Amino acid sequence: MLKVGLTGGIGAGKSEVSRLLAGYGAVVVDADRIAREVVEPGTPGLAAVVAAFGESVLAPDGTLDRPRLGSLVFTDAEKLRTLNAIVHPLVGARSAELEGAAGADAIVVHDVPLLTENGLAPLYDLVVVVDASPDTQLARLTARRGMTEDEARSRMAAQATREQRLAIATLVIDNDGPLEALEPQVRKMWEELTARAAAGE
């Protein structure tokens, strides 16, 4: 099994790379998706979040009110640590479960937005960074996600710098250009990953 960590700054295009890799046959373990699953209604994760933050973080339908929770934790480092202490172990356990089910010859791609920030690079055989310039990230966030420029800049500033991400990269995908320039790069990288997996690296 080849374990790959995939990361990139917000707006860099990591999700698109992840989608392409899944199409080639990678087993993609999406940390963001799992983070949502572990706090769905009826889960121990949601019960723990409500116990820590109160009923006010629930929407009327009993689901987690993410914007409300976000407004509480992103302005208070202690509350953010509390939330991470609940969610991160659950995400880690579920990720390990999915990886374990993948099979010995699989290429498992862990799609982890905060891989750099959380010092997770040593967990993987190699790290792929999807890279785009801050100007490109900003343009995508304002055009495609409807963020204001201030919102986009503050989300980018809350993440690792471009230099910090590149410092842990084994392979870099340059996604500063149009979508059609991305696919050939990802295909080439997939060929390299399959060669490494076959060689038992």
In the chain, domain spans: 2-199
State residue 201's pLDDT score: 60
Q: Helix %, strand %, coil % for the chain, to 5? A: 55, 15, 30
Tens of pLDDT, residue by residue over 69-128, are 988 887 788 998 899 899 989 998 999 999 989 988 899 999 998 899 989 999 999 999
| Cβ burial, residue 179 (10 Å; 0-12/13-18/19+) | exposed
Residue 56 has pLDDT above 90, yes or no: yes
């996604």: which residue's tokens?
A: 175
Instruction: Quote the distance between the C-alpha of residue 36 and its chain's center.
Output: 12
| Average pLDDT rounded to a whole number, residues 173-192 | 93
Tokens representing residue 115 in the block: 């891989």
Contact between 31 and 113 under an 8 Å Cβ cutoff? The reply is yes
Tens of pLDDT, residue by residue over 11-20, are 999 999 999 9
| Mean pLDDT over the full length of the chain | 92
Tens of pLDDT, residue by residue over 140-171, are 989 888 888 888 888 888 889 999 999 999 99
Q: Which CATH architecture has domain 2-199?
A: 3-Layer(aba) Sandwich (3.40)
Contact between 7 and 113 under an 8 Å Cβ cutoff? The reply is yes
Residue 200 has pLDDT above 80, yes or no: no
